[in-house]
Each structure stands twice: as C-alpha cells, then as structure tokens.
C-alpha cells in the first residue's frame, strides 16, 4: 500500500547481533517511486553485506550518504506520497546531526590543546554514550567508521588500550614494523567478541582423546564412493553427526543464554568457525557460519551443505541467515595444527558449548586387551558453567566419545 504521508525509514535490524550498519550503496535515486519488495539499499554489517528491500510503496528520499554508519533504528531516509522532497524534515535531520557532532562545553574545555576550536567530531550516539560512561575524551579517540566516524568498537578498543597500557608494549626506537593491522572492522569485531566472551561467562575447557580408527575406516568406504555420492565426505561431517548423537543424550549442551534465561533449543544449528584470508598475509578473519537443523540431515547431505556454506562465507556471498542463530559451535584445527595439539577455544556466545577437534595422532594404545597402533583425535570441549555443570558436561563428552569410537551409533 502506498504511503499517504511522509514516513521515516530507519536503519533495519536484520539480526539479533546487529547493532549498526553501513550504507554501502543506495540502489535507487532520490525521488524514485519504489514498491514494497523492490531493492532499496546495500547494507554492510561486521560480517556480511546484503540488499534490503523497500517496506513501502512511495517516493524514496535518502537522508544519509553512502559510506555512513548508523545505529539500528537511526533515521536514514523517508518515503513520501509525492515526488517532492521533505525539505523541512531534511533540514531538521541535518541540524540534529551537526548537534550530535558538535563537542559539548565540557569536551571543548578539555580539548582546546588537542583540536582546532571548530573541529566537528563524527560519532555515533551509542559510541558517544559509552565514551561518557568511561570518561573518555572523544577528541583522543580515532574513528574507524566512514569518514573517521567514531563507533562503538573504537570506544571499546580505547578502553582496552588504556587498561593494558604498559611500557613494554611500546615499540623500541629504531625497530622497523613488518605490518600494522588496525583493530577495526571484522578484526575489531573478533577482538571485541572474544574479550567479551571471556569477561561475561564462566567458561572452562576439558580435553581428551577419542579413538577414531574405526571412524576413519568407515569414512574410507564413503570416500571410495565419492563420485556416486557427489562429495568426498569429510571428518567434520562425522563430527557433526556425533554432536547430534551427544546432544540427544544431553540436550542442555544445545542451548543459548538470553539475558537471565538458559534457552534449550529443539533444533541443532551448528556454528562452524571458518577462516578467511584477507588481502595480505597478515590479514585474516574468523566468521562463524551456521548450518541449520543438522539433526534432520543425513551424513552426505550434511557434508554437501557444509561445503556450500564454507564456500559462501569465503567468497563473501553469505547471507545474514548464514552467520546468525547458532546453538552449538564446532571450531576445528584438525589438519592445520600439529598432531596431538590440545587447546582451550573461546566460547561463541550466546552458545553455552563449543567443540574444538585437533589433528589426529597415531600412538600405541591398549585395544581389546592388546597393544596396537590406534589413531587418536584430541578434543577440547569448552562450556559455560552458568548453564552446564560438570556432571552433564561429562555425560555429553562420554556420549560424544562413544559416537566417535563406534560410528554405527551416530549413523543409526
């Protein structure tokens, strides 16, 4: 239905974890008539870029520029009943923006030596609020948003820098730098989320080895039929099936924490930690892709879906649904780290559990009363003690170990 009055258009919130978005491109010119469902803009978050559709029929006018970052629900445009721009409302919007960017009296008094008298500070409302809470001077914070705009992550990094500032972290004069990588964008998001995960949860890690000798024998049969199956079934697919088996024994492991509630999920949405190489050897990122309802997928289906998801993430074509809504996380270093490696992976909040498999190692073991060479896979299970006590965590690990040692259990 066509709008019958000037209607605000705000930055859409398309995922629970989305706090702000950057307008990468307007897909329509000012004054263009659009229908509900027509492509309107390309919005970038810290994880993916996606095209948003018009929610109304009407003539669209943008109040924000391409490259600008806004908090969710911030005004970025209008829908009008005619092709006449809402001039008065645009003026009000621009004046509000200038007021938000203008330093307060207290900020100006404390920064006369650091910046010119009429310097305008570009800052998001959330970042400004956080800076005030921590008593930080905005003039001294370097913005990583478009046009140098200060956003939430910049304030959090400034706080972290102040807390960790020590003399031995400074570069020694005369020592050259190989690279300098800003803690912003995806890298900044990873830094912020991993730090928050450790600060805001009671996580601990248990380590053990599972005998996967029989699993590898079963996998070899699937690999021999790769051409007929349409995929070379990976060990990660077997691990995912083992997780389904273990979650059925201990459903509490498939849960998320929402505010003051532990929410046990019925469907298993597996988060998979996927590494992505940047433009230089020093730039890498880690994105958690999400496979939904893996309890309903067969082994071959699961492997194909997993490969497609990884490809979308690494090619930059992942959708918001591809990177949100996990209920359990798999973070594997198998085939990358040294054989036998044990680790203590950090939880992917709000998930309460994460499995970290590492590169298998062959070692002599007692098997069925005799010493023989077996293939052992190191496993690290990190869990949030707020949701999982030691007893259910141990039962989960035992069930997982059973499935890996006896693959017929997970494939039944």
The residue behind tokens 């879906």 is 305
d(CA 356, CA 382): 8
152 exposure class (CB count in 10 Å sphere: 0-12, 13-18, 19+):
buried
| CB count in 10 Å sphere of residue 355 | 25
The residue behind tokens 């918001």 is 320
The helix/strand/coil state of 181 is coil
d(CA 136, CA 131): 5
* Residue 157 φ then ψ, to 5°: -70, -35
290 exposure class (CB count in 10 Å sphere: 0-12, 13-18, 19+):
buried
389 is catalytic: yes
* Residue 30 φ then ψ, to 5°: -55, 135
191 exposure class (CB count in 10 Å sphere: 0-12, 13-18, 19+):
middle
Reduced 3-state DSSP string for 38-64 = CEEEEEECCCCEEEEECCCEEEEEECC
Residue 224 gets which letter from DSSP? H
Q: In whole angstroms, how far apart are CA 246 and each of 81, 223, 290, 296?
A: 57, 25, 19, 15
CA 377: distance to chain centroid?
A: 27
385 is catalytic: yes
Question: Of 91, 389, 401, 406, which one is the catalytic site residue?
Answer: 389
Residue 209 forms beta bridges with which residues? Answer: 378
Question: Of 73, 167, 385, 401, which one is the catalytic site residue?
Answer: 385
Residues 6+ apart with CB under 8 A from 396: 246, 247, 249, 250, 253, 353, 381, 388
Residues 6+ apart with CB under 8 A from 166: none
Q: Sign of the C-alpha dihedral, residues 355, 359, 365, 366?
A: positive
Residues 6+ apart with CB under 8 A from 390: none
* Residues annotated as part of the active site: 385, 389
């Amino acid at each position: 239905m066509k709008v019958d009055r000037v209607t605000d258009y705000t930055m859409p919130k398309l995922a629970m974890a989305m706090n702000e978005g950057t307008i990468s491109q307007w897909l329509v010119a000012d004054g263009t008539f659009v229908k509900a469902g027509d492509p309107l803009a390309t919005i970038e978050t810290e994880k993916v870029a996606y095209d948003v559709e018009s929610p109304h029929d009407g003539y669209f006018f943008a109040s924000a520029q391409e490259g600008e970052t806004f908090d969710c629900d911030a005004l970025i445009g209008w829908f009008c009943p005619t092709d006449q721009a809402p001039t008065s409302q645009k003026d009000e919007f621009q004046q509000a923006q200038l007021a938000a960017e203008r330093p307060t009296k207290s900020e100006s008094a404390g920064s006369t030596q650091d910046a010119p008298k009429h310097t305008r500070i570009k800052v998001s409302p959330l970042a400004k609020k956080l800076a005030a809470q921590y008593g930080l001077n905005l003039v001294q914070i370097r913005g990583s948003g478009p046009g140098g705009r200060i956003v939430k992550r910049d304030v959090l990094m400034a706080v972290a820098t102040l807390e960790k500032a020590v003399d031995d972290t400074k570069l020694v004069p005369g020592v050259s730098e190989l690279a300098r990588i800003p803690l912003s964008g995806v890298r900044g998001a990873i830094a912020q989320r991993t730090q928050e995960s450790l600060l805001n949860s009671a996580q601990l890690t248990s380590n053990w080895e599972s005998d996967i000798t029989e699993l590898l024998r079963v996998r070899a049969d699937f690999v021999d039929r790769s051409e007929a199956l349409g995929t070379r079934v990976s060990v990660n697919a077997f691990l995912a099936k083992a997780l389904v088996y273990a979650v059925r024994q201990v459903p509490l492991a498939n849960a998320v924490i929402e505010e003051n509630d532990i929410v046990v999920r019925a469907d298993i949405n597996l988060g998979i930690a996927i590494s992505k190489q940047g433009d230089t050897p020093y730039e890498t990122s880690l994105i958690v892709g999400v496979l939904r309802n893996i309890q309903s997928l067969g082994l071959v289906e699961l492997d194909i879906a997993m490969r497609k998801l990884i490809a979308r993430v690494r090619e930059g074509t992942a959708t918001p649904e591809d990177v949100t809504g996990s209920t359990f996380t798999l973070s594997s270093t198998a085939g990358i780290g040294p054989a036998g490696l044990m680790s203590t992976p950090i939880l992917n909040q709000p998930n309460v559990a994460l499995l970290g498999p590492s590169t298998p190692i062959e070692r002599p073991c007692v098997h069925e009363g005799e010493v023989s060479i077996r293939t052992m896979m190191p496993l690290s299970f990190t869990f949030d003690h707020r949701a999982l006590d030691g007893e259910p965590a141990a039962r989960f690990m035992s069930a997982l170990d059973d499935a890996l040692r006896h693959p017929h259990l997970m494939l039944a």
